[in-house]
Amino acid sequence: MKKFKKVSIVIPIYNEKDTLKDLVKAVQSAPLPKGMSREIILVDDYSLDGTRDILKKLKKKYKIFYHRKNKGKGAALRTGFKKVTGDIVIIQDADLEYDPKEYMKLLDPILENKADVVYGSRFSGGGPHRVLLFWHSWGNRFLTTVSNMFTNLNLTDMETCYKVFTREVLKKVLPDLKSDRFGFEPEFTARIAKARFRIFEIGISYYGRTYDEGKKISWKDGVAAFWHIIRFNLFK
C-alpha cells in the first residue's frame, strides 16, 4: 500500500479579512495522520478589503501567491495546484463554513486505498449544520442531480468545497481544467468521472454564512454551473 507523507491544503481567497486568520490557525492545527506533514498554499484572488495586509504577515510561514486581477475561484485553485508538492490535496475555502478538524475522516478512504477522490457532503449526515437559505440548498441539490445524470455518479453534494484527492488525480485533470469561477466544481466532477477514479463521499458539518455575512456565490453562478455541467460532460 502506498505511503502518503504530505498533504497540500490549497486555499483560494477573495475578500476574507474577517475569517482568514482564524481559518489559517484552524488549518495549521487540524489533526493529521501520524507522520504526515502539511503544506498550506494560499492564493489571493485580488482582494481589496485588507486581506492582503494579513497575508503579508504570513509570508514567512506559508506559500502565498497573488493574482494581479480578480479571476475567480477556479483560476485561484489552478494557481495553487501548480505549486502542490504533497501526495494528497485538500481544497479549503477561507470563509470558516467548513471545519478543518474533519480532515482525518476525509483522508481515511484514500489512506486505506479505497478511494482516489473524496467529497465532503453537506447533505448526507455528519456533524452540525446551520439552518439557512432554502433556495440556495435546493439549487445545490438540483445542480448535483443534473450533474449525476451526466456523470452517472450518485453524489449528494457536487458543489461542496471539500474535495480531497491524490497527486495522481491532480496530474490527470490539471492540464485540462479551464473554469475560472465556480464552474470548477462541475468541471472537476465531470473530469474525474470520465477518468473513472474511485470516488467516495463523507458526511461533514457545515457552518454556512448569509449574504450579509459575506457569502459570495449567487443565482448567476448557479445558472453558469448548469451550463458548465452540460459543457464539460458533452463537449470538452
Output the DSSP codes for 86-142. SSEEEE--SSSSS-GGGHHHHHHHHHTTS-SEEEEESSS--S-B----HHHHHHHHH
Question: Is the entire prediction scored with pTM above 0.85?
Answer: yes
C-alpha cell at 63: 506559500
Q: pLDDT per residue over 100-155, tens digit each?
A: 999 999 999 999 999 999 999 999 877 776 656 676 778 889 999 999 999 999 99
CA distance 41 to 92: 10
> Which runs of consecutive H residues, i.e. helices, occur in 66-122?
73-81, 103-111
The CATH class, in words, for 6-235 is alpha beta
What angle in degrees, to the nearest 10, is found between the helix axes of 184-194 and 73-81? 50
Smallest CA-to-CA distance from 32 within 142, 95, 145, 110 is with 110
Locate the domains of the chain by residue range. Answer: 6-235
> What pLDDT, in 10s, does the model give residues 212-223?
555 556 667 778
DSSP-derived 3-state class of residue 90: strand
- Per-residue pLDDT tens for 37-65? 999 999 999 999 999 999 999 999 999 99
